[in-house]
Structure 1
Amino acid sequence: MDTSPTPDASPSLSAPLVTWIAEQINNQSLVPGDKLPSEKQLCEQFGVSRPVVREGLSQLKSEGLVVSHKGKGVFVSERGSRQSFRLPYTELHDAEGLAHTLELIQVFERSAARYAAMRRTPDDLKSIRRALIAMEYAILSDLPGDEEDYAFHQAIVDATHNPHFIQLNEYLEQHARRFIRQARQHTATYHHNLIQTVQQEHQAILQAIEEQDPDAAATAAETHLQNAAQRLHVYLKKG
């Protein structure tokens, strides 16, 4: 699906910090109620700035792993990691981890397209078409069209009218889709002729949703993700 809300395909600077704290919680080196190191200590430990540390802590809070108490610090949440779903940070060259993540995205996108075809409204169709047209303009302007691509897939998820799909989509965008993003950027830079192929895949998804054909929408979304995975493998071979 080649999506991205930002042009930067690099991992977040806060990722090592987030991964370390999550692992400390998972292996019970940190238990519910334990206080985390101070922002200053984390800055020194990971060699990053305070904004980066705060970004990482904000992510951990959103996942329910930690909670902050004003004037006291940040503590491991009483909920613990056992009740909070999170995807482990996966390196691009971790073949097994990458395959597992792509499988999850593929199943999610297939289901989202299916329900969108069943439930879409005229306004939903306008949003999906608008994003597709915006992608076309980006392509004609020799731009990657990352933001427009993200808007297209977001509009499809919105058309499911399922708040849990929408929430999970936001999580996947933040934690998993950088792989597809890098494939799209590589395609736009080095295989510009394939961008129109990607656009045709998007068009097939839209057409199936427009025709309210759930099976065709699911198949078109799955085909798009399978092709995106292949483009990603091409990108990795070049790296």
Structure 2
Amino acid sequence: MDTPSQPLTTGIIDWLKDEIQQSRLASGSKLPSEKQLCEQFGVSRSVVREAISQLKSEGLVSSHQGRGVFVNERSARQSFRLSTTALNDHDAIEHIIELLVAFESAAARHAAVRHTTDDLKEIRRALVGMEYAILNGQPGDSEDYAFHQAICDATHNPHFIALNEYLEQHVRGLIRRARTNTVTHHQDLVMAVQTEHHQILDAIEAHDGTTAARAAETHLRNAAQRLDIYLKD
């Protein structure tokens, strides 16, 4: 149940990891630009960004505003890992949902209190992008990621932002992989997801942290129920 972009990102990730492990990209070195990687691998910027995001989540690289992405020092590389989870491992999925509920509820609560006008524009832009993708029969995975990332950005907490990137690669993508295969068969569920997203956005826009957290929790618990439907297809 791979997303369409997964094989493309794998090639970039494997190449960059090898460059780092072989010290051709030494600690402190700047990674090739998005444009260079797009040209080298013949992919879009979104695919490159997804690959870089995974490397960030694994602690191999970090981005510096206005400067680019750099290889981390070995001592700074993260050791935290989540084990790979299969979609049919119900106990593991339940544990993952518990983690996501706690994380996304807190992120939504902080975003409601701390967001700026620009933050709100980014959250809304991602939501509009999802609606456009859905209308064109696409799952809107990258737009969905952008929505949740924009909420984490609005917390203005670098740890929330970094953890969200890690969870996207290792946890949240499970739900998307199942949903991608059924988007054309469950338009009612797709629209339910959008309604929940709007409820989160409305609460954040209203600076209502409690309602935003509750809406995020409802969204994740409903996602867990929808996952069972996706897996039956």
TM class, shorter-chain normalised? 0.5 to 0.7
CA contact (8 A) 1:114 1:217 kept: yes
Alignment counterpart, residue 179 of structure 2, candidates 164, 184, 192: 184
Query: If the length of structure 1 is used for normalisation, what is the TM-score?
Result: 0.66
Unaligned runs of 5+ in 1: 15-35, 37-54, 65-76
Q: Which runs of 4+ in 1 moved over 3 A?
A: 6-10, 58-64, 77-80
Query: TM (normalized to structure 2)?
Result: 0.68
Confirm whether residue 138 of structure 1 aligns to residue 133 of structure 2. Answer: yes
The match for 1:156 is 151
- Counterpart of 1:7, as a letter, is P
Shift of 1:139: 1.5
The answer to whether the Cα contact below 8 Å between 1:182 and 1:232 also exists between their aligned partners in 2 is no
Q: How does 1:1-239 map to 2 (within 5 A)?
A: 7-8=4-5, 62-63=58-59, 84-238=79-233
Q: Are the counterparts in 1 of residues 57 and 162 from structure 2 also a CA contact under 8 Å?
A: no
Alignment CA distance shift 1:221-1:135 (3 Å): same
Distance 1:122 1:79, change over 3 A: closer
**Structure 2 CA distance for partners of 1:60 and 1:213, relative to 1, 3 Å:** closer
Q: Which has the higher contact order (CA 8 A, sep 6+)?
A: 1
Check 1:141–1:84 CA distance in 2 against 1; reply closer, same or farther (3 A cut): same
Q: Does the 8 Å CA contact 1:124/1:158 hold for their aligned counterparts?
A: yes
**What letter corresponds to residue 116 of structure 1 in structure 2?**
A
1:173 Cα shift?
A: 1.0
Q: Is the 8 A contact 1:146 1:181 kept in 2?
A: yes
Larger Rg: 1
Shift of residue 171, structure 1, vs aligned partner: 0.7
* Deviation, structure 1 residue 60: 11
Give per-residue Cα distances to partners, 1:167-224, cap 9 Å, x unaligned: 1011111111221112331441211122111111100000000000001000111111
Percentage of identical aligned residues = 57
Structure 2: runs of 5 or more not aligned? 12-20, 22-50, 61-73
Aligned residues: 180
